[in-house]
Amino acid sequence: MNDIIDVTSTRPYALVVHGGAGGHHWRLDEAREAAFRAGLRAAYLAGESVLADGGSALDAACAAVLVFEDDPLFNAGRGASLTADGTVEHDAAVMTGNGRGGAVTLARRVRHPILLARAILDTPEVLIGDPDDDYVRGFGLELCPNEWFITDERRAKLAELQATDTNWDDHKHGTVGCVALDASGHLAAATSTGGYDNKPAHRVGDTPLLGHGTYARDGVVAVSCTGRGESFMQGVVSHEVSARIEYGLQDVASAAADTIAAEISGRGTTGALIAVTPAKRCVLAWDSPTLLAAWRDGDQLMTHI
């Protein structure tokens, strides 16, 4: 199954958000579906409001992801997946189209990992692992006890997984992200995640690795990925999409679909990506039973569960 949505923004800017891809949703009912759609809309509108006011693609992408990090339904910030030890370890990254990026991995106490990644972008470094409290405080960012990020739902999922032979690949939904094009023609991507349920402690996925789960290049494309991170790392997926466009001269829809087929489906795993181009093309490509996402088709704000 390899699905694709391809629309062109009718506004001076373009934006797509995703809330994760994976198997069938755990304990999904009408109320939960409505909450997912509300969260997707809220994240999209937060990013869009920045762009509508003339803000940058980077600020818009971070604003959208920040909403996801505060919504415990999504696997980022509070409500993120738990490690096998029952703790939360966050990864996040941002990248701008001029080739600059910032990322953090194994963050355990910063309330908004995406804001730490954004702050790191303005330093000489690119990727910081296991940031200590003083480092986070140096940017004026809020710290919370690790327990604050843990929800009853995540505890229940971890307990069920560890106590049974449930195939949790059927229920994994990881990673949130946003890609944006601002009215000045600049691109940016932002991605944040807690990984997956029952992951080994200290495991690092694709999200904080530029060119793997997160990538942006002005004049070409911005990409944010979600799915089994190891496949996205081995396939260098977000950069592969960009390379297919810039050097292979593929259009963005073909580049996205072919990359998913080769590097995700071809590795026997599932996942998705969102992309936006300077021509305001907005593409969602996935090979998984579900994808949480929001985008505009004309004036209509669309959500997908």
Active-site residue set = 175
Rounded CA-CA distance 23/301 in Å is: 24
Cβ atoms of 22 and 171 within 8 Å: the answer is yes
Rounded CA-CA distance 23/291 in Å is: 9
Rounded CA-CA distance 23/272 in Å is: 12
Rounded CA-CA distance 295/121 in Å is: 26
Residue 155 tokens read as 């505890």
Cβ atoms of 231 and 207 within 8 Å: the answer is no
Rounded CA-CA distance 166/170 in Å is: 9
User: C-alpha distances in angstroms, 38 versus 10, 23, 174?
Assistant: 23, 20, 18
User: C-alpha distances in angstroms, 179 versus 48, 70, 163, 238, 267?
Assistant: 11, 19, 38, 12, 25
Cβ atoms of 92 and 116 within 8 Å: the answer is yes
Residue 117 tokens read as 């990644």
Cβ neighbours, 10 Å, residue 200: 10
Sheet holding 3-8, edge to edge: 3-8, 281-287, 271-276, 221-227, 214-217
